Structure 1
């Protein structure tokens, strides 16, 4: 009897000890953990998760960039076991600047033009799929119409411009951090006349953005960029901070604040919505696919705008009246022209309005301002002397 009691107590103690060392979890939780393990990041088939997607995007004017809205598409060309080769294209309508506020410093941008952006890239995951790396390159174009000056100065001979650039970028994304380095390099005619007073130039821009996922849906980033252009007025460094929030599946809102000496402080907002082909997937699969490293494989490439600034052109522009005929002087060829298509009498007395900018007047005569006066001119324009 005592032996049986001791044996019972021994078995009870062993059972208690075993129970104490056994993790106690609800059945539902065990099943959930099992499901999550079955659909972990290593088990994801990228051919299921990385699909063609398209949608709409829009942004408010920023530092050298316009108000814009358009459509875009991500096209996976080849999806491997751990990588994707892709094309990413955007088509945007560029609209006019806010009244009295120039996006390019002095001259207001007028609407509407169509800009394009194309990227080819390659993205891949590391061995344990904790990081996504990427490289991309492409071409961008931006036609631009011009309007008035935000300073209220009347501008004549408003012209349109067309800018182009080639671009390259590097990416790295984990579930916590994300890095994006980029280079925007204008090509072709990078400096163009916008009106009688200002020239416009596309900016070389080199930058690095460092982001942190506060949650998988909320990303905050800080960036540094260096910009330079043929006009030299905007050369220098700048900083920017951005916040992007995915408020629903495929819908993202963002705000960006930048500062540099040329553009000073600029605040811009953006929105994008992408229609994916995975909307019918099971919720358990969606949860696995929503990891930042997997989502980054099919996201649109960032930093693609052609950034433009303007600067006052050195020299003078003229409006000369000879009787009822309008005469114009070219500050580049130094010649007088009549709107009637024939030379004017070189001994005539003309009424002239002179507009000089950039602190330089007629060649050899510094002058900044405007004046109206009478001047006898020979067959080749003589130096102007303010009255």
Structure 2
């Protein structure tokens, strides 16, 4: 069932985006000037910083990252993207993984190898990427009031796959997060934790070229079945200036209930000139060619041990 679900999510992101009827609502790609842009001038390496507040199974974190185009064609780019984040302790008495509070400080990593391409009239961008994510995790007290001992440091990891489709108005993102290795580990004398398989699809709309609102559905399973179930999420992202993006997220599922988080990303580099950078910012189909792939967190949930 899960394999059919994951394949269906990936197929839907591309098949829906391929509908020609919605490809150009406000004029042709030529009218928008997108055909005159040379990708070799605007698809350049970027690097910078990112940070996020704790969410549903994810920690408070901040770190560095970079996007490296390995090969740029007339309408395509083959790229590598990497992140390294310092994971901090959970805020107050609120566990990001349900019961056990995450303690600082560890360093998580994420890498993606991907290919993105434009259709013939540059009205849509399609992309595929895959990679590996790691998450060491230190544990602290429980936020339930239960006394715990033998607090352990554990290590989780996953493979991830992502398919995306973006036009000037719509965007689709389907993803699979697949934990590997020791996916269930004892955290302390009372609770164990598990990395979650997650299968999701997000659908977004560009309110303006720099404001994107999206809604999504995901199915998660893991932690000995205690986290199995569906969830929904919403996100609003605002590209404040070229290279600076802030976002707000809200999610709900039965395991984590309602979670609200925020994130920020700063990237330097990119197009050769200021004029080109401003032009790219107004062209979502071109702008997304150098965007950092999303859905890269190893999500963890804990429940009573044994």
Q: Shared topology, TM-score over 0.5? A: yes
Are the counterparts in 1 of residues 212 and 238 from structure 2 also a CA contact under 8 Å?
yes
Are the counterparts in 2 of residues 59 and 270 from structure 1 also a CA contact under 8 Å?
yes
Q: Report the counterpart of residue 60 of structure 2 in structure 1.
A: 67
Q: Report the counterpart of residue 185 of structure 1 in structure 2.
A: 178
Q: Report the counterpart of residue 72 of structure 2 in structure 1.
A: 79
SS at match of 2:295: coil
Alignment of 1:64-143 (within 5 A): 64-143=57-136
CA distance in 2, matches of 1:128, 1:66: 41
Q: What is the TM-score when the length of structure 2 is the normalising length?
A: 0.88
SS at match of 2:255: coil
The ranges of structure 1 where at least 4 consecutive aligned residues each deviate by more than 4 angstroms after the TM superposition are 36-39
Which residue of 268, 271, 291 corresponds with 2:261?
268
What is the CA RMSD across the aligned residues, in angstroms?
A: 1.4
Q: Once the two structures are superposed, what CA deviation does each residue of 1:97-117 show, in whole Å capped at 9, x if it has no partner?
A: 012100000000000000000
Structure 1 portions without partners, runs of 5+: 1-35, 315-387
CA distance in 2, matches of 1:114, 1:282: 34
Shift of 1:286: 3.5
Q: What is the TM-score when the length of structure 1 is the normalising length?
A: 0.70
Are the counterparts in 2 of residues 64 and 308 from structure 1 also a CA contact under 8 Å?
yes
CA distance in 1, matches of 2:31, 2:247: 34
Q: Report the counterpart of residue 220 of structure 2 in structure 1.
A: 227
Q: Report the counterpart of residue 198 of structure 1 in structure 2.
A: 191
Q: Does 1:255 align with 2:248?
A: yes
Q: Report the counterpart of residue 237 of structure 1 in structure 2.
A: 230
CA distance in 2, matches of 1:309, 1:292: 35
CA distance in 1, matches of 2:158, 2:148: 28
Shift of 1:151: 1.0
CA distance in 1, matches of 2:59, 2:70: 31
Are the counterparts in 2 of residues 190 and 202 from structure 1 also a CA contact under 8 Å?
yes
CA distance in 2, matches of 1:87, 1:262: 34
Q: Once the two structures are superposed, what CA deviation does each residue of 1:170-212 show, in whole Å capped at 9, x if it has no partner?
A: 0000000000000000000000010000001000000000000
Q: Once the two structures are superposed, what CA deviation does each residue of 1:298-329 show, in whole Å capped at 9, x if it has no partner?
A: 00000000000001012xxxxxxxxxxxxxxx
Which residue of 291, 295, 301 corresponds with 1:299?
291
Are the counterparts in 2 of residues 44 and 288 from structure 1 also a CA contact under 8 Å?
no
Which residue of 154, 160, 164 corresponds with 1:161?
154
Q: Report the counterpart of residue 350 of structure 1 in structure 2.
A: none
CA distance in 1, matches of 2:294, 2:245: 13
Are the counterparts in 1 of residues 70 and 79 from structure 2 also a CA contact under 8 Å?
yes
CA distance in 1, matches of 2:185, 2:132: 19
CA distance in 1, matches of 2:195, 2:31: 51
Shift of 1:43: 1.4
Question: How many aligned positions are there?
Answer: 277
Are the counterparts in 2 of residues 39 and 288 from structure 1 also a CA contact under 8 Å?
no
Larger Rg: 1
CA distance in 2, matches of 1:39, 1:99: 49
CA distance in 2, matches of 1:200, 1:138: 23
Are the counterparts in 2 of residues 143 and 161 from structure 1 also a CA contact under 8 Å?
yes
Q: Determine which structure has greater relative contact order: mean sequence separation of CA pairs < 8 Å that are 6+ residues apart, divided by chain length.
A: 2
Q: Once the two structures are superposed, what CA deviation does each residue of 1:7-42 show, in whole Å capped at 9, x if it has no partner?
A: xxxxxxxxxxxxxxxxxxxxxxxxxxxxx9799211
